[in-house]
Structures are given as C-alpha cells and as structure tokens.
A and B are shown apart, each in its own frame.
Chain A
Amino acid sequence: MARKRDSDPEDRKLQGEKAVSRRDFVKKGAAGVGAAVLSTSGTALAQVSPVNAIQWNYEADVVIIGGGCTGLPAAIRARDLGASVIIVDQNFDLGGKMLHSGGQVSFGGGDPLQLRDIAGENDREGFVTAPRRQSVEELTEDPDFLFRDHTDWSVMDAAAQAPYRYNERDLHRAYADNCSATREFLMANYVRFGRIFGTHGNGGMSRARRAVTFLMEGATTDIKKGTVSKKDAGIPKVSSSHFAPRVMEDGSFVASKGARANGAALSRCLEFAAREKGVRFILNRHMDEIIREQQFSGRVVGIRASYSPRFAPETGRRLESLWQDGNVDDRTETIYIRARKAIIIGAGGHGANPQFRSMFYPAFREPAFVSSGWALLGPRGQDASGIIAGMRIGANLAGMQQNISYASTFHIPGNLATRDPYTDMLPGHPTFSFRGSTGINLPDASFQHLIVVNQVGKRFFNEMLITTRQGGAAFPADPRKGQPKSGLDHVQMDWRNASVANIKATYREPNSIHAALAMNEGSKAPDFFSGPIWTIFDRAAVERDKWNIDPPFTSPTNGFFFSADTIQELAEKIHRGHEFQRIPLTYLVETVAKWNSYVDKGSDPEFARGPDAPMYKIEKPPFYAATLNAVWHDSYGGLRINGRAQVIDMQGDPIPGLYAGGESSGGGNQHGLGRALVHGYIAGTNAAKEPGN
C-alpha cells in the first residue's frame, strides 16, 4: 500500500525529503529521520543561544555560511587579506548551485574581458583564440553606464515585467564599481573565461558582458594547468562525474577546440584556490542560528550548526567531497563556531522552501515541485535558512517582489520523467541515485507528440506552449525581449520603452505555468495543491521522434515514469506509484479519447492545438506517462544588504559584523553568477577589514 503525501504540515518543512508522512515519523520514533526533521531552520526561530554560556568549538576571523558562488570568492578574498576563514556548508561537497550552473558570468563596466576582446587579444595561456564575437562598440562602456543599465526604470520585458527599476541603487552602484576587480580577482584564482557574447539575463540591455568559464580537455584534470580530463568533463548522453554533475559543454566557439565549459569550471577552480590558500571547510554542517550579542543589538559573534550528512541510498555510506584538503570532519550533532571579525551569509536562496516561497506564490507550496539542483544539494539546499537566521536577529528584507520579474524563477523545463528537471545530471555524480533518472529532455517542437494532463487527468493548456518561457531582458535588445529597438539602438531610460503601445506590441508570455498550478477538481483546502503534471504519449511518439526512454533517462522505480498496455492501467499505475499523486486520474481515459477525436477532426476546440504543429493520436501500445515538473529555479528576494554587502536592519543600520550576498540577499533582479561573485568579493574584502571582537 503506497504511502502518499498528505497535507500534514510536518511533511512540508523539507521539500526534498522523501514522502515520509507524520504517521510514519511517529511510527519510526524520534531517532534517525526525526533528528533531521527537528534540526531544520523552522526550529531555529524558536531558539536563542545565550552568548555568555556558549562553549565555542571552533573559531576564525571570518565564518562563511555556504561554500557556493558567494562563499568561495568571499573566502579567498578574506584569506588574501590575511584573515583566517572557516566555511560551513550543509552539503557534502562545495560549489552549491554554481557547480551545476552553465558557468555564464556577466560583469561589464569596462571589465578586463571586455578590454581583452576590444584589443583583439588572446589569453595568456593561449586557450582563447576564437575570434571576437562582439563589435568594439558592443563592448565599450564604463561603470556609470553599467549602473544606469542596471537601474533603467524604462525596461519592460516580454512578460510586461520591469526587471531593473526596483534594483537597490546602493547595491548596484557598488556592483558596477567592483565588476572589473572581481573579474581580475577570479582570473587570478585559476578561473578561465572565453570570449564575451551577449549578456546574461537581467545583466543590462545595452552592452555585451557575458563570458562562460571553461577548462581545456586534457589527459588529466589539473586546475593549475587549466585542464580537465575527458571523464571529469563528462561524456554527453552517457555519464557525468563527481567533478562536474552536468556534462561540460563544447566551449570551442568562445575559446578554442577542446574547451569544455560550464559552472564546474568556475566552481572547482575557486574551490581549488580556496583550499590552496588555507580556507578550512566544515562540510555536512547546516547553520541553524546566527548568534548576536543581543538578539536585536550588538555584533554577531558566531553560529550554531548541526550535523547534516547525506548517505548513498544503495550503500548507506556517507557521501564525501571530491577534494579533502582543509576539511574538518566533525560529526558532533551541534557545534558552535565563533567569528572574531565577521560572518558572511552565502547560504543560497529560498527556492526549495515551499513555506518561504509561498510568500510570493501560494500555489507554489506544492511540495512536488523542487528547486533546481534538488538531488545535488539535498533536502537542506536553498532552504532559506540564511535569510531566516538573519531575520531572527533583526535583518530587513529587500526585493521580495523581484522573484516575479525574472522569467525562469519558476517555469516548466521540457525535461520529462525526473523530479529535478532543470539539472540534466547523468550517472557518475554521487547524488545521481537521489534522482534516479536524467530525464527525457525534449525541445519545444517535440511536444507535438504528446498531451499534458493535471492530477485528475485533464488537459489544461496548449502543449506546444507549456515549456515556452521568456529569456531574461538583456543585451542584445530585441522586440522578442520586450524592447522597441534592437541591439545598440536601445535607448536607456527612454519612456517609449515602457509605453502602453510597446508593451502591447511585444507581450508574449504564454502563462502556462500558472495554468499548471491552478486548482483543479483534486485540489483540496487548505493548500489546494495542484498536484503533479503528466505527459501522456504512446509508442508511436517514441518511434516517430526517436526518444530515448530507457535508463538512465528514465527510471523504472523512481515513480516519475510509467508504461502500461492501456490508458486505464496507466492511470492506475501513476496513482499507485507516484508519491505526490494523491488522487486517481479520473478523467485520463476520457481525455485521451477526446484528444484522439480532435486529431481526427484536425482541430482542438479546447486549447487550440493545430495551427502550430501537426497532431497525432495517442493509440499505439504501450502507453507512457512521464512527469513534467515545474521548478523554482532561483530566487531574488532576500536579506537587505548595502553596497558594502553588510546586512541592514529594520532601522536602516548595518548589523555589525554581518554580511550577505547572492541569493541570500535581495534588492537586485540580476540573474546568475555575476551578482553572487561580486557580492562575495565585496563581502570578503570588508569582512577581513572588520575590527574584530
């Protein structure tokens, strides 16, 4: 008898936990799983550690929460300036989301790469020999120009959202002023960037600023030499590696033949530099509380953190980091770490905390839908704990509405049959077994071969538009990105950009995600969970469009892919076998019959399929169902920080000794790595200069 997710609030604290119901929890007793549940951030709010009574287990000048895109550069920078540094991370390895990212980093303002490309120069190592991809004019700017781009009130994107107008001025002035130094700093710490091409989402409309990080394929992985082995870089459609959870892509178009590019090339190089420079790491360690002299006054003095190991499902063995230099392996349940100078919160965002994200979108409390990197980061990744710990000691928040202003904050990736659809991880990374399947990654056109239904088995949208999403508003400007003028013709702060006439002419948001999250006949109070989304297709679709539906792309056991001889049996299998399918798919048989009748007629009166692509019957056995999961990819609202990356309290004053950056901070709608890297650089610089306790 399958145990289902029910609506017990205890179940929803950790979106990534397996579906253990409250009943099972009680049945199993308070040990084991219970200990993990009780050490989540939810309970941190209730606890205040009395400062004078604390026995500190460790201490360092700078304590950093999270070894990702904010924490690693902050740690290296603070070490460069002479501070001792401890990083704690809830996961077993470093890198956070940066490790599975595309490695696209937008800076600008006349940064060293823009200058390199303008001058037509190659890199010192001779890896970057590809021709310049942007004109001199497209690369020429200064920090003032970048700052104006990042605070341009007039830009409206193709979803009629304003990505720049709400950006915190102080923060983005500091960003513009530190882009060049951060690019230089990263390149001095083994990070290799290719040619600049375009700009990353919400990184500005007017100039090209994006470069991707790469390593060169070589016999061995050698960060100093800039090489990555074929195995570590990953083999497309076959295997990922511990080094790179997603296969590194061909970077020849921005560097030279043999370049392999993505976020692993950034993350592993920064990690290598941090380990080489003597940063200490306490992994498997979740920060539960930031301790301040008094709850709402005084300096921050340290943190309380609990043991948060992850175990391989097959062997029961604890997962270990790729590299170990500098690791402190402490398995004590609770430890206290004193920060002599400063604490930096780089704990990521709130995309995996259904309660927190429901502030922005109540329908997204549905726990079936996870944040990107769910398997990689585990149940405590992106759990908002950095933000919550800051709130608990009086921090203000910023940019809370800015989640809504970026196209991929929440969306439906076209990757079927996996719970973690954003990350196309293959076997080879230690966390693959948590997901069990890579997913069937389909381009939009392939959706002509299937239908998509909700938890009661009814279609809800034109399938050809379900995975369509707007790109972020960024250079080059274009009417498809909501701008009346293209490329360099874009005019900053021009009222015409936001005119009603322009918005009417450029609006192209399909809104399918909202239809997917809608209440339906199976949604029940108080949460009205929309339930999972299912693609339904037949053998003919698989043969016609040549899909690989075998493992590792699907799993016969993870509950995200089913096959059956008939549609009726398919519906029963889904209901029995998927943990978030709380009710039967009552209408599935009728829906498929109706769809087949629409195909006969050549038109779809319900959702207007037909004009965009041919329609095909779903009739040839066996029949298949695969999930189409929505994902909360990244998040923007978070702790308010100033231009020095100091966390600001409700009175507008910095909390002494406390810094934050990346997705733990708010006030900026810029997507991706650039924001977090600059915050980390600024925070590390200022934290090291703190007077100390």
Chain B
Amino acid sequence: MAISQAPTQPRNLGISWDPMTSQTEKMRGHTMCAVDVSPEVVDAGADMTLEAKVSCSPPCDLRGHALLVKHAGADPRRVELTEFDGVTNRTGEFVMKAPVKPGEYAWLAVSPAVVKEGVSYVQASAPISFTVQPHTTLVVTWDTPSAVVIGERFRLKVGIKCSNQCDFANREFGIYDHTGAQVGRSALSGDRWPGTTGLHVAEVELEAPAREGLYTWSVSSAGSDAGIPHTEGSISFGVQVVSHPECRVTVEAVDKDSQMPLSGARVVMHPYKAITDEHGVAEVLVAKGTYKLFVSQTHYMTFGVPVDVTADMKTRAELELEPVPERN
C-alpha cells in the first residue's frame, strides 16, 4: 500500500486555497499553488519531471522563496521559485526519483507563509499525484520465415527489453505453440541488437508442426517482483507451415527498356519468397497451386501477374521504371 499524505485530488489540477481573507484586511494575501508532473504514470524508481507554480493575490514576485516537496520517508526537498512573469511564479522543471513500490501516490508541495512588500501571504499547498508501475517488459520477434515446410526446423530472433533500460542479459523466455504448450526456451545474450538502445537478443531454433496451416505461437518472458518489479512480456507471431514444395518456378527479372537483368529483385509468391541473383534469376520452390507472382525492385513499378503452377515453369518479368512525381 502506497503512502498518502493528502486527500486525492484531480491529477495535475491539484489546487488548494487557504481560507479567504477579508477584503478589509489589506495586509493579507492569498496564494495558489499547483504542480505539473510528467509522466503521471511512472516506472518504478524512474525520474519524474515536476514544475511547481505559485500565484498570489495581489500578484507578487516570490523568486527566491522555497517550496517544500514532502514525499515518502526522507526529508522534504526544497525547491526555489526562479521565474516570475508578472502573474505566476515558477520553479522551472526539476527531477525527482519515483518510489520503487508500485501504487498510487500523493506527495505534497507546500509553499510556506511569506511576507513580501508588506503583504503577508499565508501557506498554500498542492498534492502531487502520480502512479508508480512495474517496468514493462517489451518483446519483439523477427526474421520469422514466411513459410516453413512441415516438420522442418526453423530459426527466428527474439529481442526483449525493459521500458526503463534495465540490463536483461541472461533473462529467460519461453516459446509457446498454438495450444499453449512450451516448445522451446532460451535466455537472452548480453548483446544488444544494432541500432537499438537496449534490446537484448537471442536466436532460437524451433520445429514446425506436422500439419500445414497458419499457426499463432508466442514468446513470453515472466515478470518479477524481486528488486525492481517487472511485468510479464509477450508477443505472438505467425508460423506458416506448408507441405513439401513440388515445383520449381524460375523467374527472370529484367529492365523493360534496356532488357538488362535486375539483380536483388524481390520475388514473392505468397508465402514463398526469393531474391534474384546477379543474372536477374530467382528460383522459388512452391507447392502446386494458384499464386500472384510479384517482382519488385527499388525505383521500379511492381510487376504482378497471376500464375497457375502445375509443374516446373519459367517466367520473365519486365519491370518499368517508376516515373518521378511531377513537381510544378
């Protein structure tokens, strides 16, 4: 259970007025205090950015006046008002660490009573409300093959990271099939995937089911409460299982104008894929059936043609350059 030091108020609009002073008491002023918190839902132990605002009636420059932020356990933190725009005094943004234990929190910001230019401003306060959550475990899978032959082994990559960049080296995860049965388990390496800030990666090998079809499998990594709490993380991915290919489709891709071969062109006959070689040729092994054969290449319009595959076959794809959009 999280501590609560003030009555819960609407988020970010926490406003508390001191008792109204009488119009005749010229020497007393009142003060309004509010605190912005970002984010309002924060990871356990992570930084929160706060900014407190104090405005007075009559308006008053309170720069140098210190607010007290009362939070769990430790001594209150002093934060000075440093900006004044003629109406509102501000502290500017300052950072505080969120508690580690998940839950709802309401800290308190107090603007102590102060006398300024002959006016006595009474104490004001505002709650600082926020929610602490466990770190989120984020899971990604990639390099899943577009088609796997019945019973054959296939590989894919798994990446897992913490929403707050905790080190996930050696963290364990399991792989579960469409029935929920575990079909594999492994642990993350210490390597981070290139181009990412904190995605630990592992490569796993699995065996495809014995019947063709599209299966939904998942990767899951259990949560933990020890130390910094983490949620469970999971993601599902598709496994397209096909029967043994019976036919070889040879595709030759050329530039329509020059008739020169196009190497590196992508050939897709869903779910089968291939890439053309330096001679512009790709071989796709497919089951008998009807497909839409696509050949696409950067800067070219995609070539697409329906094909009915009953035996080995050859086909030629002539790709046209895509016109540059007219700018006028």
Q: A602 to B88, alpha carbons, bound, how many Å?
A: 58
Chain B nearest CB: distance from A12 CB in Å?
Answer: 23
Given known contacts A597-B238, A621-B199, is B327 in contact with A612 (CB within 8 Å)? Answer: no
A566 touches B138 (CB 8 A): yes
Given known contacts A443-B324, A565-B140, A612-B302, is B86 in contact with A29 (CB within 8 Å)? Answer: yes
**Is chain A's interface secondary structure helix, strand, loop, or mixed overall?**
loop
Given known contacts A568-B136, A593-B236, A621-B142, is B214 in contact with A539 (CB within 8 Å)? Answer: no
Chain A CB within 8 A of B85 CB: yes
Chain A CB within 8 A of B17 CB: no
B140 touches A566 (CB 8 A): yes
Chain B CB within 8 A of A613 CB: yes
Chain B CB within 8 A of A331 CB: no
Chain B nearest CB: distance from A597 CB in Å?
Answer: 6
B327 touches A102 (CB 8 A): yes
Interface residues of B in 14-45 (CB under 8 A from A): 36, 38
A445 touches B142 (CB 8 A): no
B214 touches A600 (CB 8 A): yes
Most buried by B among A28, A201, A444: A444
B298 touches A546 (CB 8 A): yes
Chain A interface bracket (under 10, 10 to 19, 20 to 34, 35 or more): 35 or more
Q: A600 to B241, alpha carbons, bound, how many Å?
A: 11
Residues of B close to A414: CB separation below 8 A: 325
Contact indicator per residue, chain A 273-315, by CB within 8 Å of chain B (1) or not (0)? 0000000000000000000000000000000000000000000
A614 touches B294 (CB 8 A): yes
B302 touches A422 (CB 8 A): no
Partner pick for B138 among A448, A568, A612, CB 8 A cutoff = A568
Chain A nearest CB: distance from B289 CB in Å?
Answer: 12
Partner pick for A566 among B36, B161, B301, CB 8 A cutoff = B161
B214 touches A611 (CB 8 A): no
Interface residues of A in 431-462 (CB under 8 A from B): 443-446, 448
Partner pick for A27 among B85, B193, B296, B299, CB 8 A cutoff = B85
Chain B CB within 8 A of A1 CB: yes
Which single residue of chain A is at the shortest CB-CB distance from B292? A611
Interface residues of B in 312-328 (CB under 8 A from A): 322, 324-328
Q: A613 to B161, alpha carbons, bound, how many Å?
A: 33
Interface residues of A in 639-693 (CB under 8 A from B): 671-672
Q: A610 to B304, alpha carbons, bound, how many Å?
A: 10
Residues of B close to A566: CB separation below 8 A: 138, 140, 161, 199
Chain B nearest CB: distance from A625 CB in Å?
Answer: 15
Interface residues of A in 353-395 (CB under 8 A from B): none
B304 touches A565 (CB 8 A): no
A443 touches B296 (CB 8 A): no
B328 touches A448 (CB 8 A): no
Chain A nearest CB: distance from B178 CB in Å?
Answer: 13
Chain A CB within 8 A of B240 CB: yes
Q: A95 to B99, alpha carbons, bound, how many Å?
A: 59
Given known contacts A27-B85, A539-B195, A568-B138, is B159 in contact with A621 (CB within 8 Å)? Answer: yes
Residues of A close to B198: CB separation below 8 A: 565
Q: A611 to B305, alpha carbons, bound, how many Å?
A: 10
A619 touches B141 (CB 8 A): yes
Chain A nearest CB: distance from B153 CB in Å?
Answer: 19
Q: A619 to B237, alpha carbons, bound, how many Å?
A: 10
A621 touches B322 (CB 8 A): no
Chain B nearest CB: distance from A119 CB in Å?
Answer: 27
Q: Which of B62-70, B169-177, B266-274 contacts A (4 or more CB under 8 A)?
A: B266-274
B270 touches A602 (CB 8 A): yes
Contact indicator per residue, chain B 173-202, by CB within 8 Å of chain A (1) or not (0)? 000000000000000000001011111000
Chain B nearest CB: distance from A624 CB in Å?
Answer: 10
Chain B CB within 8 A of A569 CB: yes
Which single residue of chain B is at the shortest CB-CB distance from A105? B328
Residues of B close to A619: CB separation below 8 A: 140-144, 237
A569 touches B138 (CB 8 A): yes
Interface residues of B in 113-143 (CB under 8 A from A): 136, 138, 140-143
Chain B nearest CB: distance from A203 CB in Å?
Answer: 11
Chain B nearest CB: distance from A133 CB in Å?
Answer: 16
Residues of B close to A26: CB separation below 8 A: 85, 87
Interface residues of A in 561-616 (CB under 8 A from B): 563, 565-566, 568-569, 593, 596-597, 599-602, 610-615
Chain B CB within 8 A of A471 CB: yes
Which single residue of chain B is at the shortest CB-CB distance from A567? B140
Chain A nearest CB: distance from B50 CB in Å?
Answer: 9
A614 touches B159 (CB 8 A): no
Contact indicator per residue, chain A 181-209, by CB within 8 Å of chain B (1) or not (0)? 00000000000000000001100000000
Chain B nearest CB: distance from A86 CB in Å?
Answer: 30
Q: A471 to B196, alpha carbons, bound, how many Å?
A: 42
B238 touches A445 (CB 8 A): no
Q: A1 to B50, alpha carbons, bound, how many Å?
A: 9
B214 touches A443 (CB 8 A): no
Q: List 15 A-B contacts (CB under 8 A).
A: A1-B36, A246-B327, A408-B328, A422-B327, A443-B299, A565-B193, A568-B136, A593-B236, A596-B237, A596-B238, A600-B214, A611-B304, A620-B143, A621-B140, A671-B328
User: Interface on A for B, CB 8 Å cutoff?
Assistant: 1, 26-29, 101-102, 104, 200-201, 246, 408, 413-414, 422, 424, 443-446, 448, 467, 471, 538-540, 544-546, 563, 565-566, 568-569, 593, 596-597, 599-602, 610-615, 617, 619-622, 671-672
User: Known pairs A1-B49, A614-B268. 6 more at Cβ < 8 A?
Assistant: A27-B85, A28-B85, A200-B328, A546-B298, A611-B292, A619-B141
